[in-house]
Each structure stands twice: as C-alpha cells, then as structure tokens.
Chain A
Amino acid sequence: KNQVEQSPQSLIILEGKNCTLQCNYTVSPFSNLRWYKQDTGRGPVSLTIMTFSENTKSNGRYTATLDADTKQSSLHITASQLSDSASYICVVNDKAAGNKLTFGGGTRVLVKP
C-alpha cells in the first residue's frame, strides 16, 4: 500500500531557530509533492508544491526539497516565528489512482518564545 511517513511526530523549537521536517514516501508514480500547514482546528493549506523533477522550492521562510531517487522530501523552516506553530503535512498524489491524495501523519511543531 502506498504510504507517506513523516518524522518526527512532533518537535519543540525556540523562536528564531531553524528546523527540518522529513517525509518519506512510497507512492509511485506521482505528479508532485506538496507540503501543507494546518493550524489547530482548521483545514490544511498548501505551502509548497514540487514536481518529481524539481529538487527545491521556497516560499518565504519555508524551503522544501525533494529527492525522487530516495523518495524523500524535507521542509526546512528558517528563523522560526511563533506563528509557525502548526502541523505540517506532506502529501503525494497517486497518479495510478486518479490523482488520489495520500497524506502523511504530519509533524506538530511548537515554537516557544
């Protein structure tokens, strides 16, 4: 079964510090990979999208990387802010299943002052 695994499940960082979240997937073939941010009690919102041929994509202080050979992606948050406290979810679409989206379990990030 195609899966998307994320690590760590949760982490706490101090305001201003950097952190990196990991995503390993087995979905194949896929068109692209997205990272979403989900604030508590809200629906997820897309942060970045990368096609299988792209290696890196930035959105402000968020930088996503993709290694299609090892089937790994990472999301790097630079100079974290309190508003970065949220769950970050890696999502891959399953082309063989009509672009059905496969979500990872997410990483909960808590930024402390």
Chain B
Amino acid sequence: SQTIHQWPATLVQPVGSPLSLECTVEGTSNPNLYWYRQAAGRGLQLLFYSVGIGQISSEVPQNLSASRPQDRQFILSSKKLLLSDSGFYLCAWSQVSDTEAFFGQGTRLTVV
C-alpha cells in the first residue's frame, strides 16, 4: 500500500532562518507531487507541483522553493523565512492516471 510521510509535524523558526520540509512517498512510482499551504481559517493554496524528477511548477510568487531530487521525494525550502510564511503546509501525491490526492499529516510552521 502507498504511504506518504511528511516531517516535522510542528516547527517554530525565527525570521530570517532557513527552512527545509521533506515529504516522501512509498509504494508508488512517478507520482504527481504537491505542496500546499493553508493559512489559519483559509483554504488550501497550491504552492508547487511536480510531474517528475527535477520538474517543478510554481503557482504563486513567494519566498519559497521546491525540489524533487528523487522520484518520491519532494522538498520545500526557504533561504530566509518571513513572518508571512507561517501556516500549515501539506504535501500530497496523486497518480498521473488518477485524480485522488493523498495528503501527509501536515507541518505547522510558526515563524517568530
């Protein structure tokens, strides 16, 4: 069966510090991968999605970047965090031939 791992679950970082959130998927190959952010009380905002290794599409201009160094690994990064980067970050995957997205447990990021 397929599983998705996302860590850490919670993170408190000072303004200006770097960020690295990691997401890995097991039990499938060549998945579509997604990073979403959800501000408090708001809907999901798609940040990045990837259809293959090294292929990253950015949905909104921001202080974040994403990389896909391996087929089932998706990393969200920032060189210098801003207060506005605080939020709930979700990683998800879907099969290219399917439309259901499976989500990780999320990372609650607080920038102080």
Which residues in A have some Cβ–Cβ distance to B below 8 Å? 6, 31-32, 34, 36, 41-46, 49, 87, 89, 91, 93, 98-106, 108
Contacts of A41 in B (CB 8 A): 88, 106, 108
Residue in contact with B43 in the complex, picked from A32, A34, A99, A106, CB distance below 8 Å: A106
User: CB distance B94 to A43 under 8 Å?
Assistant: no
B residues in contact (CB < 8 Å) with A: 32, 34, 36, 41-44, 46, 49, 51, 57, 88, 90, 92, 94, 96-106, 108
Q: Report whether over half of chain B's contact residues are helix, strand or loop; otherwise say mixed.
A: strand
- Find the A residue at minimum CB distance from B6: A43
Question: Contact between B105 and A87 (Cβ–Cβ < 8 Å)?
Answer: no
Q: Note all chain B residues with C-beta closer than 8 A to A32.
A: 99
Residues on B with C-beta less than 8 A from A43 are 90, 92, 102-106
Given contacts A89-B44, A103-B36, A104-B43, contact A98 B99 (CB under 8 A): no
Q: What are 16 contact pairs spanning A and B, CB under 8 A?
A: A31-B99, A42-B103, A43-B90, A87-B43, A89-B44, A93-B99, A98-B96, A101-B92, A102-B46, A103-B36, A103-B43, A103-B44, A104-B43, A105-B43, A105-B44, A108-B41
Query: CA of A43 to CA of B101 in the docked complex: distance in angstroms?
Result: 10
CB neighbours of B57 from chain A (8 A): 100
- Give Cα A31 to B44, complex, Å: 21
Contacts of A46 in B (CB 8 A): 100-101
Among B32, B46, B102, contact of A103 (Cβ-Cβ < 8 Å): B46
Report the minimum CB–CB distance from A36 to chain B (whole Å). Answer: 8
